[in-house]
Amino acid sequence: MPIIRDAELRDAAPLAALAEQTFRETFEASNTPEDMALHCQGHYSEALQSQEILDPGLTTLVCEHDGQLVAFAQLRRDPAPPCVRAARPLELQRLYVASAWHGKGLAQELMRRCLAQAEAEGADQVWLGVWEHNPRAIAFYRKFGFQQVGDHVFPLGTDPQRDLILVRSAVV
């Protein structure tokens, strides 16, 4: 099983590649090439992932197997949307596992690490946005007790998409 650890600056380039690979694996079939390209250009590069790894408002966790990154998650400490009723919310901003590792328990282990981190830093609620047309991710989050409390717009390139906002207690 891959090891899960905090991301380091040396991970920035492989993390950018993994983030783009997993985003494309998940959403390419349902979106235009132009919107996918716009999103990827704006979100994934060695420079951007370096900034994210160094950002004190973010925690980036990576899963490494045989020297390769195969999954990652990011937690963000920003104000939550009003539908998230929490004193100390923490956003699970990204959780992406390479397709070869789906259904093998790695995503669950990574989620448990995220929830443990949230509890350790005193968050009371963990929230996330998930595309309404991503049934596997929605099923995965529901297994962990996340429940829908609202929705918001996620711009994928030029396409304003509807994300469901899901919340659960940060207490493991």
Residues forming contacts to ligand COA in the complex (CB under 6 A) are 22, 26, 95-97, 102-103, 107-108, 130, 134-137, 139-140, 143
Q: What's the closest the beta carbon of residue 104 comes to ligand COA, in angstroms?
A: 6
* Closer residue to ligand COA (CB): 85 or 143: 143
Q: What's the closest the beta carbon of residue 101 comes to ligand COA, in angstroms?
A: 7
Instruction: Answer yes or no: are the C-beta atoms of 70 and 97 closer than 8 Å.
Output: yes
Q: What's the closest the beta carbon of residue 161 comes to ligand COA, in angstroms?
A: 12
* Closer residue to ligand COA (CB): 9 or 28: 28
* Closer residue to ligand COA (CB): 122 or 132: 132
Q: What's the closest the beta carbon of residue 86 comes to ligand COA, in angstroms?
A: 19
CB atoms closer than 10 angstroms to residue 34: 11
Give how far Cα 28 sits from Cα of 13, 21, 39, 164, Å.
21, 10, 11, 20
* Closer residue to ligand COA (CB): 50 or 161: 161
Q: What end-to-end distance do the CA atoms of the chain give, in Å?
A: 22
* Closer residue to ligand COA (CB): 56 or 74: 74
Classify each residue of 72-99 as buried b or exposed e, where b means 16 or more C-beta atoms within 10 Å of its C-beta: bbbbbeeebeeebeeeebbbbbbbbbbe
Q: What's the closest the beta carbon of residue 93 comes to ligand COA, in angstroms?
A: 9
CB-nearest residue to ligand COA: 107
